Amino acid sequence: MGELGYLIIRYADDILIFCKYEWEAENALKRAGEILEGELKLKLSPEKTKIVHARKKGVEYLGFHFNGRWRRPQDKAVKKFKTEIKHRTRRQQPKNLEMVIASINPVIRGWGNYFKDGTVKKRFEELDGYVRARLRSFRAKRRNWRIILYTFPKPELEKMGLVSLSSLLDHPSPAMG
């Protein structure tokens, strides 16, 4: 179907087909049904099979929200990331800051590498700020708050090994390290 000029995104048994016009979408749906049901002996799921105007409504797929011009992480995926960071930076746990950073770095790398090909620069900067705030809060629990704000800037966290989502946009990060 790609030869017909449609943009196709596929993962396992899920497929998105982007078309410019509604009549093209109807033709693409008909052709996809012929291929899947006729040639491949698969069934289309009526609950999941639909035509939507992507630029007006958008489409949620594999953790991304697509709208025809850009793709960004779904709000649900961002909330899940923040929840995981919050869990790993709980202030009452008996860990030092270096251990907490070592605990959250794989989460940051994994989430960031998955979403970095989307339209994410501003979202990554926002989430980097969230991570730093959580770490400062963790550290402040053990020290004087004012001292932490002035003596614990972003470069200090980077020296301690904190991975930032924004840095993943510039160059790939190794899976471990």
What's the total number of domains in the chain? 2
Query: Is the residue at 159 inside a domain?
Result: yes
Contact between residue 24 and residue 34 where contact means Cβ atoms under 8 Å apart: no
Please indicate, yes or no, whether residues 95 and 29 belong to a single structural domain of this protein: no
Q: What is the pLDDT, as a whole number, of residue 93? A: 80
Contact between residue 173 and residue 109 where contact means Cβ atoms under 8 Å apart: yes
Contact between residue 1 and residue 32 where contact means Cβ atoms under 8 Å apart: yes
Please indicate, yes or no, whether residues 47 and 81 belong to a single structural domain of this protein: no
Query: Is the residue at 104 inside a domain?
Result: yes
Question: Who wins on pLDDT, 142 or 99?
Answer: 99
Query: Is the residue at 58 inside a domain?
Result: no
Please indicate, yes or no, whether residues 42 and 78 belong to a single structural domain of this protein: no
pLDDT in tens, 38-74: 888 888 888 888 888 877 788 888 899 888 778 899 9
What letter would DSSP give residue 36?
Answer: I
**Residues in contact with 10: Cβ distance below 8 Å, sequence separation at least 6, in sequence order:** 16
Q: What is the pLDDT, as a whole number, of residue 177? A: 45
Please indicate, yes or no, whether residues 99 and 20 belong to a single structural domain of this protein: no
Q: What angle do CA 167, 65, 130 make, to 5 degrees?
A: 40
Name the phi and psi angles at 48, rounded to 5. -100, -10
Please indicate, yes or no, whether residues 39 and 97 belong to a single structural domain of this protein: no
Does the model's pTM come out above 0.85?
A: no
Please indicate, yes or no, whether residues 31 and 80 belong to a single structural domain of this protein: no
User: Residue for token digits 């907490």?
Assistant: 100
Closest by CA position to 138, among listed 84, 92, 173, 169: 92
Query: Is the residue at 114 inside a domain?
Result: yes
**Percent with pLDDT over 70 in the chain:** 88
Q: Which domain holds residue 6?
A: 2-51
Please indicate, yes or no, whether residues 96 and 32 belong to a single structural domain of this protein: no
* 21-35, 46-60, 92-106, 152-166: least confidently modelled range: 46-60
Please indicate, yes or no, whether residues 152 and 103 belong to a single structural domain of this protein: yes
Please indicate, yes or no, whether residues 82 and 164 belong to a single structural domain of this protein: yes
Q: What is the pLDDT, as a whole number, of residue 176? A: 46
pLDDT in tens, 85-102: 999 999 888 888 899 999
Please indicate, yes or no, whether residues 81 and 151 belong to a single structural domain of this protein: yes
Residue spans of alpha helices (H) in 89-174: 97-115, 121-140, 145-151, 154-159, 165-170
Please indicate, yes or no, whether residues 96 and 160 belong to a single structural domain of this protein: yes
Please indicate, yes or no, whether residues 86 and 144 belong to a single structural domain of this protein: yes
